[in-house]
Structure formats: C-alpha cells, structure tokens
Amino acid sequence: MELDVRTLMVVFTVNVFAVSLALPAIMGWRVGPAARQAVLSTLLQAGGWFFLVLSTFWRQQWQDQVCSVLAMAGMSASLVLLWRSIGLWTGRPQLAWPMWALTVLMTLGYGIGFEHYPWRVGLANGVLGTQMLAIVFAVSRHSPATGWRWRALIGLCMGATAVVTFWRGILGAFFTEAYPFLTAPHPVNKVAALVSNLSLVLTTVAILMAYREEAERELQAQAMTDGLTGLLNRRAWTERAEALLADAQRYGYPLVAVMLDIDHFKRINDERGHARGDQALQLLSRLLREELRTGDLAGRYGGEEFCVLLTHTREGQALSLDQRLRHCLRLQSAQELEFPLEYSAGVAALGTRDTTLDSLLRRADEALYEAKRAGRGQVVLAPRVAASPAPETLPA
C-alpha cells in the first residue's frame, strides 16, 4: 500500500497528540520537575507537528510562513525540555541557555529567511539535528543513580532521528532539486516518517521507565527519611551507622557518636503549641545539616532526640562542633522561634570495647542523661572504659 508523505505526517501528528494526552493521564499531574518537563515536551512536539501539517494545506505564503515558524519553534522547544528532563533524571542538569538560544535564533532565522527555501530547510534541520545529538550526549553520560535501559532507548531514538533530520537538511540546502518541498515523495521523507513513529513509541516507553525509576527512588527516600525534619529516620540511620562503624573498626580511624535532646520540649509543645515544637525540630535539623561535613551522619532518633555519627573525628573536634551548633541555635532560635532553644548532648568516642553500634550509643545515651541530670543545656563526654569514674560534665 502506497502512502503519501502528507498522510504519514498526519498519522504521526495524531499519534503525538495521543501520547501527549496519555502521559499526564498515566503519571498524574503531581509529578516532579523532570516528568513535568517531559510531558510538556510531548505537548510542544504535538503542537509543532500540528502547525507543520497545517502549513501544507495553506495556499497563501504568509499563512504557510506563520504555521511553519510556529512548527519549528514548537519542535525545537520540545527537544530542549526533553534534554532538561534527562538532566534532572540523571542528576546532571546543565546550563539551559545555549539550547534555548539555538531555539530562538533558529526560529528568528527561519522566519526572516523563509522565502529562501535552501536556507530555511538547512537551518531548521541542522539545529534540530544538533539538539537531538545533545540529547544523545546527555543520556550517554555515566549516571550510576539511573538505569541504562531507558537512556539507551532515548539515545537510539534520538540518534536515528538526527540522522534522517540531517539528511533532509543536506538535501534541502545543497540538493534542492531532489527535495524541493516539504512533502516531496523522496525516500528520506518516508524513512523519516517510519523512524519518527518508531521513535515516538520507544521514547514514550523510555519516559515512563524513567518516571517509574524516579517514583521508586522517592518512595525509597520517604521510607528512609523523617517526614518532618528531612533527616534520616531511626532505621535508616542505624543501617548506615553500622556500615560506618564497621569501616572505622576495620581501618582504625576515629569515630564519635553524639546524642542530642532538645531541652524542655514538652513545655514548648504545651505552652507554645505543637506547631512551634515542629519548628524547633526543623530548626535544629537544618543547623545539623549545615554544620556537619560530608561523610557525617545525622538522624532523628525519636521524638526530640537526634543522633549524630562523626567520622574521622575525635572528642575535641566533636566538642568544637557542639559549641558551633549551640551558638548558631541560640541566634537562629531567637530570630525564628522568638525564644531561646537549648539542648543537652552526650558524646562517646569509639573505644576498644565498643564492638557494636548499640554499645557505642549506650555510652553516648548515658552521657546525655548525665547532662540532663546536671541541669541541661550542656554536653557530657562519656568515658571510654566502663570502670572509669563518672562522666565529666563540660560547660556548654
């Protein structure tokens, strides 16, 4: 069965519109920025192809010109959004302005030089093909946090589409007699239609795979993260802390556990309301994230209690961290909460008898309660040996 090029373009346009409506129906509207930009990319692609098909029906040049310019703008912008969504999914976002600049310059140049057919065909297809190759490069970069299957699908589809796009651009710009108008019955148009339809299906599958991967990561993060403070929850913190403890024992580097408990937290809830209590927890959590180094571990251990594991750290460094944290907390709580916020802390350095994480945390917890019994608002350093004298209380 022989199909003309215009019919193939119409069929592809209908398919793109179907995909642009199906994706948000499948994903829902409350999606992350990467999935949202991928959906917008399909909508712009559908709009671009709609105007491109519409341009083939107009008889007057100005109508053809307006539709063609809108078509090129929509197609180019859709590639930019797909490129940006890939950067977000892979954790490698890049500066978007060069891609957007290509879109703007190509659209302007296409519209201004519309009457010169070789110019506009060569320009449009050259820029679109370049943007497709940028997408191929984006998915080919190493990304251990994402799967390779959906990236490979997008790379193959964009690579094949770029080949036929450059092919049409070269024919239109330098061999115009072989490709004198958009719907010319040239083999490149039929190949492009087949490649475009196949790429549409596979790219849609790849987008859904990437979205599923993102959703699974979010669910995993929610299972590991305390919803109020954004820190690790007790289970996730314990799992990671045990791994850090094993490394410290294996390689012999110092390790310190710190248990923190907000002072008079029940009184804050009772007198100032639970909303203020939540703000106090969030403030201390934020300051912990700001003060800790990469490699240190902080988690909400339960209620108003927090647990921190400091890697490659000795007691003196832990006490310095405590002083900085208290200073920042006093300043920030006075501004944000309108009352001073204090905490008690227990510090325990990894010793030879700490064979398990529980034993290390038990000593830090005992030091914490000694700080509370001594009047709160201070830090206590736990002894390394159980038979040592009572813990030494240090001024905050």
**Phi, psi dihedral angles at 273 (to 5 degrees):** 100, 155
Of these residues, 115, 213, 214, 304, which one is catalytic?
A: 304
C-alpha angle 41-84-149 in degrees, rounded to nearest 5: 85
CA–CA separation, 274 and 256 (whole Å): 32
* 305 noted as active-site residue: no
Label each residue of the chain as H, E or C. Answer: CCCCHHHHHHHHHHHHHHHHHHHHHHHCCCCCHHHHHHHHHHHHHHHHHHHHHHHCCCCCHHHHHHHHHHHHHHHHHHHHHHHHHHHHHHCCCCCCHHHHHHHHHHHHHHHHCCCCHHHHHHHHHHHHHHHHHHHHHHHHCCCCCCCHHHHHHHHHHHHHHHHHHHHHHHHHHHCCCCCCCCCCCCHHHHHHHHHHHHHHHHHHHHHHHHHHHHHHHHHHHHHHECCCCCCECHHHHHHHHHHHHHHHHHHCCCEEEEEEEECCHHHHHHHHCHHHHHHHHHHHHHHHHHHCCECEEEEEEECCEEEEEEECCCHHHHHHHHHHHHHHHHHHHHHHCCCCCCEEEEEEECCCCCCCHHHHHHHHHHHHHHHHHCCCCCEEECCCCCCCCCCEEECC
281 token code pair: 């927890």
Q: Is 377 left (phi over 0), alpha (psi -120 to 50) or beta?
A: left
Tell me which residues are annotated as active site: 304
